[in-house]
Amino acid sequence: MEKPNLDFLFYPKSVAVIGASHVPGKVGNAIMRSITLRYDGKVYAVNVKGGEIEVNGRKFPVYRSIKDVPDEVDVAVIAVPAKFVPDVIDECGEKGVKAAVVISAGFKEAGRADLEEELVRRAKKWGIRVVGPNCLGVTNLENGFDCNFNPPERQARPPFGKVAFMSQSGAFGAAILDWAASHKIGMSKFISLGNMADLDESDFMAYLGDDPKTGVITAYIEGVKDGRKFFNTAKEVTLKKPVVVLKSGRTEAGAKAAASHTGSLAGSYRIYQAAFEQAGVLEAKSMRQLFNYAKALAMQMPAKGNRVAIVTNGGGAGVMMSDGLLERGMKLAELSEETNEKFRRDIEAGKLPEHMSYRNPIDVIGDAPSSRYEIAMRYALEDPNVDVLVVIALFQSPALDEGIVGAMEKMKVYGKPIVFVAPGGDYPHKMARNIELKGIPVYETVEDGVDAVYALVKYGEWLRENGKI
């Protein structure tokens, strides 16, 4: 498998924005604003009109051609009308540019496959790697290199973290970034794939598979460029880190829409399903599920089996969780006699109440303080029959104190994956943030929690089948 080293794209020392503009609302202006916000490399503005541009309190001279820039340029971000792009690529080649991010639309997706082929032909002549065309840009949350043309006040950027995301849809990618930012989900890199005239989803998957800053690879795709390449790449990468894909174009109507959107052939959905299964790719069916999976996999180790224990202070929530887990192919752990004896002994000693249930789901009941949770969680995690622990906390109960945050941190010593569910409003959200700071993923609903457990179990199965755990 060919592995392109794309560090020059994500860690450039210098960037030229071709089509830079001083006019608010113009794409070339928005890119300049995004790129100069946190990136500390050199930024050059290029526009045939020349002049000067002021963005984010900084003034930039505008060069009429990239060839006029006095220094070396690693990456060119191109936002000029499509018909001019091939000639601009030639100028970039003469300048020694290594990568071009082509924001411009009007290629294959608009019936101009000939123009796209010409763009690729010229880029190959110069050895330039191309992202796009017809894309939103790329963002490296680690170093602030961000040529996304949605300005920060319209589309937030998430904090730096372990999840990488690539998207064939720029608009959907923007929504994902915004959503991840509002949910405090840390991301490493974002790639808007566009038409994938050169670099495709498999190239980026291979690169991210070796990227030490990325723990989970996620993607929205309508169709892959080369099925065999995707399959072989995914099969290798998933043995190193999880890959989660949201595939659209699952229906005939959706597939037709995909063809007119990015010019991609969605192909038979059943073939994709089989390929995902055989390559160890986790398929999400919604944006929410994509990040339910990703968050769990980024924050917890894969499960060594599918036996789940539940600790809850709400009986109904425990029943709902049981149903959800069983419907997705997991099992409720049968607690060992030794574990049952621990619970009986503590009940007899008055450390636990007589009216609680410890048969799994372990219902510590509504008046449980954090100390009771801690005992129940310890006994569940010490049980060899338990592979995953789900903790459900209805924080509306006045008995449940903030000591639960410290208790959750203590549970990490057992080396088993833990998923926390905290339904409700402001107070549960506040507690959720504190628990997540301790490295435990928290979910708002039982259904989201089921997704999280499923991802940890399913990815664990794949690694076990291939002798990796």
| Burial zone of 248 (CB within 10 Å; 0-12 exposed, 13-18 middle, 19+ buried) | buried
Listed residues 262, 297, 332: the one ending a domain: 297
pLDDT of 253:
60
The two tokens of residue 412 are 């990490």
The answer to whether residue 84 sits within a structural domain is yes
234 and 166 in a common domain: yes
Tell me if 32 sits within 8 A of 53, measured CB to CB.
yes
Residue 422: domain span: 301-466
Domain co-membership, 241 together with 369: no
Q: Does residue 163 belong to any structural domain of this protein?
A: yes
| Claim to verify: residue 275 and residue 396 sit in the same structural domain | no
Same-domain pairing of 238 and 346: no
Of 274, 297, 320, the residue that ends a domain is: 297
Domain-embedded: residue 461: yes
Same domain? For 10 and 97 the reply is yes
**Closest alpha carbon to 213 in 300, 140, 296:** 140
Residue 404 CA, distance from chain mean position: 28
User: 48 and 193: one domain?
Assistant: yes
Whether the bond between 361 and the residue before it is cis, its omega within 30 degrees of 0, is: yes
| pTM of the predicted model as reported, rounded to 2 decimal places | 0.94
Residues 60 and 158 in one domain: yes
Q: What is the pLDDT along the chain (469 residues), one digit of tens a residue?
A: 567 789 999 999 999 999 999 999 999 999 999 999 999 999 999 999 999 999 999 999 999 999 999 999 999 999 999 999 999 999 999 999 999 999 999 999 999 999 999 999 999 999 999 999 999 999 999 999 999 998 888 889 999 999 999 999 988 888 889 888 988 889 999 999 999 999 999 999 999 999 999 999 999 999 999 999 999 999 999 999 999 999 987 666 655 655 554 455 445 888 999 999 999 999 999 999 999 999 999 999 999 999 999 999 999 999 999 999 999 999 999 999 999 999 999 999 999 999 999 999 999 999 999 999 999 999 999 999 999 999 999 999 999 999 999 999 999 999 999 999 999 999 999 999 999 999 999 999 999 999 999 999 999 999 999 999 8
Domain count, the chain: 2
Residue 95 lies in a domain: yes
Final residue before a domain boundary, out of 270, 297, 324: 297
Give helix then strand counts, H and E, for the chain. Answer: 16, 20
Q: Are 102 and 234 within one domain?
A: yes
pLDDT at site 175: 87
Does residue 1 fall inside a structural domain?
no
Q: Are residues 293 and 337 in the same domain?
A: no
CA dist 463 → 177, 274, 431, 450 (Å): 29, 18, 33, 20
- Residue 158, C-beta contacts closer than 8 angstroms, at least 6 positions apart: 141, 177, 180, 181, 184, 185, 186, 187
- CATH of residue 241's domain is 3.40.50.261
Q: What is the pLDDT of residue 259?
A: 53
Inside any domain, residue 435: yes
Same domain flag for 230 and 140: yes
Distance, CA of 403 to CA of 176 (rounded, Å): 33
pLDDT at 261: 47
Return the DSSP state at 105.
Answer: -
Model pLDDT, residue 170:
87
Same domain, 209 and 314: no
Nearest in space to 380 (alpha carbons), one of 400, 358, 349 = 358
Residues 345 and 365 in one domain: yes
Q: Are the C-beta atoms of 194 and 225 separated by less than 8 Å? A: no
